[in-house]
Amino acid sequence: MKVYLIGTGVPGTLTAQAAEAIAEADILIGAQRMLAPYENSGKFLLACWEAEKIANFLHNSAACCAAVLLSGDCGFYSGAAKLRKALTGHEVHSISGIASPVYLCAKLGISWEDMHFVSLHGMDDSIAIHVRKHRKCCFLLGGSLSAAEVCRILCTYGLNSVKVSVGERLGYPEERILTGTAEIYTALPRETLSVLITENPDACLFHPVGIPDDAFIRNTVPMTKAETRCAILSALRLAETEICYDIGCGTGSVSVEAAFQCRQVFAFDGKPEAVSITRQNARKFGCDNITVIPGSFPGCLPPDLPAPDKLFIGGSGGKLAEILQAVSRDIPIVMTAVSLETLGTATPLLEASGRTCTVTQLAVTRTRKAGGHTLFQANDPVFLIRGIPI
């Protein structure tokens, strides 16, 4: 059977190619609102959007041609990908449509080739970190996060003045497009069919590593120095899709730099002042992908927390053996030590956990002014320990 997967696009933008395919089809399949314009077409209509059910129906059909109507574009956050896999044995053709971000950008008169896309359909995701990292972001709303909630999150993380454009019910007679700053739209009424675009000219276009120490909020809680953080992040080798645990997070300086490189950071510390300072630094740097969990690891570990892909231990509190027992043996671990005793304890425990260890001593010397002279001042040496699963 010939099966068309048709992106119907924003209402009113159906392409001529899509219209021809719909006219050819004996069967039309899709959500009820997609099928509504064809109720009097004389074609067989099936209100369904689940890939397996659609595939089963078509496998048992004697029709020659069917069209599955999909919202937006069939190659952009679409159910077409699952359908292609399920429709093995059929002659499948994809026809593109005009997706809502493309439509909204045209209305706003801005380009979208340099835009970062985030889908919030049916899920909650980090917001501020995307805006911090990209000059243009497009958020596809539709889950529990409304445009107003997105704007409130941006304001919480210091992005009040970021330019925001909200498109509501695009293509419908009641279409509305609003443009202003995030702080203006924190009380917008909820609208499920909406798209939000941010423009942040001050976005950080690189992964900040070695942020100056005095840029962080801190008190008496120990903080990993900038040069050591550079080595830690290099050793962690975080990917954008990964989850990192920061155990003994202190001021959260490592958590902040890791947050710019990976999807999610879970920071743990048993000291209330460390928990408070880490949360403050997460807000200061716009890192809403940092979740701070109070308590001593692993005792404070929630049962439903996603497992880490990488683990950094800045302070074990003397519980390194328990920490290693609580995490998978397949997880790479990076930790720091400032004493020979910690170093002597850590390496055999990491090796006993099924990891090969490398140790690097970091000796950092900075300059300081003393009258008309520039003197050298050494920081305490730090041992960087990397445990890689065998």
Average pLDDT, the chain: 94
Q: Which CATH architecture has domain 2-98?
A: 3-Layer(aba) Sandwich (3.40)
Domain ranges of the chain: 2-98, 101-199, 213-389
Query: Which residue is associated with the tokens 């003393």?
Result: 370
Give the pLDDT band (50/70/90) at residue 191: confident
323-379 pLDDT, tens per residue? 999 999 999 999 999 999 999 999 999 999 999 999 999 999 999 999 889 999 988
Number of Cβ within a 10 Å radius of residue 204: 15
Rounded average pLDDT over 288-297? 96
Q: What pLDDT score does 122 carry?
A: 61
Q: What pLDDT score does 124 carry?
A: 61
Give the pLDDT band (50/70/90) at residue 186: very high
268-284 pLDDT, tens per residue? 999 999 999 999 999 99
Q: Which CATH architecture has domain 213-389?
A: 3-Layer(aba) Sandwich (3.40)
- For residue 120, pLDDT over 70 is answered with yes
Give the pLDDT band (50/70/90) at residue 121: confident
- For residue 2, pLDDT over 80 is answered with yes
Query: Which CATH class for the 101-199 domain?
Result: alpha beta
Q: What pLDDT score does 45 carry?
A: 97
Give the pLDDT band (50/70/90) at residue 42: very high
Enter the tokens of residue 235. Answer: 């050793």
- For residue 222, pLDDT over 90 is answered with no
